[in-house]
Structure 1
Amino acid sequence: MTVQTLNQLHELRLSGMATALETQLQQPGTYAELPFLERLGLLVTQEHLQRENRKQTRLVRQAGFRLQATLQEIDYQQHRNLKRAQIAQLSQGEWLTRAQNLLITGPCGTGKTYLACALGRHACHQGQSVRYFRTSRLLLELTQAKADGSYQKLLTQLAKTQLLILDDWGLEVLKPGQRNDLMEIMDDRSGVTSTVLISQLPTEQWYAAIGDNTLADAILDRLMHNSHRLELKGESMRKHTGENIEREHLGDNS
């Protein structure tokens, strides 16, 4: 009967309950005196936890993050203009619930992408769907989708994504078709879902990067309205990382 029950739990894809039941059977002294409902509750709890873990793993994999970043490893050096209170507030996720946006700007190498990926991973752990794109690659995918007939499907997927992260925003002036694509995306997402934009350019230069005043007004109005902003400063963190590695190497050889 025990083997049959375990097999049926696996067939029903209740592997968490099956694992918990095996644990109870292997430790009869621990669980034998517990009431039936309490033992059943332990099985259900284990199943729920395992499903949540699988969901989080799936969301992180689907997000396609550029970096394996975590909030716990964010560097709060004073010169970065980054405050713990800011990140603590964003980590609560209320801005996602309210469909607000986040604009991260700063010089090259100041950790903008790491910060966005850390917030995105945290959102996955909170059960939110996230997608990360370099802006140029997303625009290329949209062009290819027009060619193969999947354009509307891709727009629908992007509209439903609860957090969309666009990196390297504004590096190249957009072509007319690309401006229209971004307008479609931002119009679908405005007030419904959240977007993170990462750029080396200060926000006042974004109009020129879009390249069309009318569409720039429409796109940026949807992005900047009710948005949070993080303006990182300082020298490239890659430079400091390289110096630290060199020091460690010299120290090892001294």
Structure 2
Amino acid sequence: MSTHTLSALRQLKLPGMAHALQSQLEQVGTYEGLAFTERLALLVEQERLSREQHKQERLIRQARFKLTACVPDIDYQHPRNLKPAQIARLAQSDWINRGQNLLVTGPCGSGKTYLACALGHNACLHGYSVRYYRLSRLLLELTQAKADGSYHKQLKQLAKIQLLIIDDWGLEPLTLAHRNDLMEIMDDRHGQTSTLVLSQLPTDQWYTSIGDNTLADAILDRLMHNAHRLPLKGESMRKVLGQLTEDEHLG
């Protein structure tokens, strides 16, 4: 009977319940004092936890983060205008639920990408869909999509992502086609889903970097409206962390 039940649970795609039932069968003394409803509740809870864990793993895998990062490992020791209270509020993910944006600026090496990946990872743990792109790769994918006829499908998929992370904003000049692509993306996402943008340029230089007054107005109006901002400062963390002390050189 037990073997048949375990097999049936697995066939019904209830592996969490099957695993929990197996534990109950192997640890009779631990569970024999519980009522039937209590033991059933434990099985159901294990299935719920198992599904939640699998969903989180799937979301993290689909996000394609550049770095493995998490909120508890964010470094606050280096002076870069980053406060734990700010991150704690962002980690609650309420801004994503409201479809608000986050703009992170700062010099090269200030930890922008790590911070974004950590917040993205945290969003996955809260059940939000996330996708990381470097801007150049995103625009390249859209250019290829135009060539193979999947452009509109690609735009619809981007619009559904609850947190879209765009790195290296303003690093390379934009063509007219690229500006139009960004306009399509921002228009689809405005007020519906959240976009996290990372740039070495301060936000007051983004208008010029886009290169077209009309499209710059339209893109930035949608991106910056009701957006949270994190302007990072200070010396490159890569440079600081990469410096060896005199003792380390001698050792």
Query: How would you bin the TM-score normalised by the shorter chain?
Result: over 0.9
For residues 188-208 of structure 1, give each alpha carbon's deviation from its aligned partner in whole angstroms, at most 9, with x where no partner exists: 000000000000001111111
For residues 152-190 of structure 1, give each alpha carbon's deviation from its aligned partner in whole angstroms, at most 9, with x where no partner exists: 111011000000000000011210001001100000000
Q: Which residue of 1 aligns with 2:27?
A: 27
Runs of 4+ off more than 2 Å: 246-251
Q: How does 1:134-213 map to 2 (within 5 A)?
A: 134-213=134-213
Q: Is contact 1:173-1:208 (8 Å) kept?
A: no
Query: Under a length normalisation based on structure 1, what TM-score does the superposition of the two structures give?
Result: 0.96
**How far, CA to CA, are the matches of 1:25 and 1:161 in structure 2?**
42
Q: What SS class does the counterpart of residue 34 from structure 1 fall into?
A: coil
Do structure 1's residue 100 and structure 2's residue 81 form an aligned pair?
Answer: no
Amino acid at match of 1:209: S
CA spacing shift, 1:62–1:217, aligned 2, 3 Å = same
**How far, CA to CA, are the matches of 1:129 and 1:247 in structure 2?**
46
Q: Which residue of 2 aligns with 1:238?
A: 238
Query: Under a length normalisation based on structure 2, what TM-score does the superposition of the two structures give?
Result: 0.97
**How far, CA to CA, are the matches of 1:125 and 1:248 in structure 2?**
41
Q: Is contact 2:78-2:237 (8 Å) kept?
A: no
**How far, CA to CA, are the matches of 2:26 and 2:156 in structure 1?**
49
| Identity fraction in percent | 67
Q: Which residue of 2 aligns with 1:83?
A: 83
Q: What SS class does the counterpart of residue 33 from structure 1 fall into?
A: coil
**How far, CA to CA, are the matches of 2:116 and 2:162 in structure 1?**
14
Do structure 1's residue 129 and structure 2's residue 129 form an aligned pair?
Answer: yes
For residues 67-112 of structure 1, give each alpha carbon's deviation from its aligned partner in whole angstroms, at most 9, with x where no partner exists: 0011111111352000111001101111111110000000000000
CA spacing shift, 1:248–1:90, aligned 2, 3 Å = farther
Amino acid at match of 1:165: I
Q: How does 1:35-74 map to 2 (within 5 A)?
A: 35-74=35-74
For residues 87-144 of structure 1, give each alpha carbon's deviation from its aligned partner in whole angstroms, at most 9, with x where no partner exists: 0110111111111000000000000000000000000000000000000000000000
**How far, CA to CA, are the matches of 1:203 and 1:80 in structure 2?**
17
Q: Is contact 1:142-1:154 (8 Å) kept?
A: yes
**How far, CA to CA, are the matches of 1:184 and 1:117 in structure 2?**
24
**How far, CA to CA, are the matches of 2:246 and 2:19 in structure 1?**
49
Q: Is contact 1:129-1:161 (8 Å) kept?
A: yes
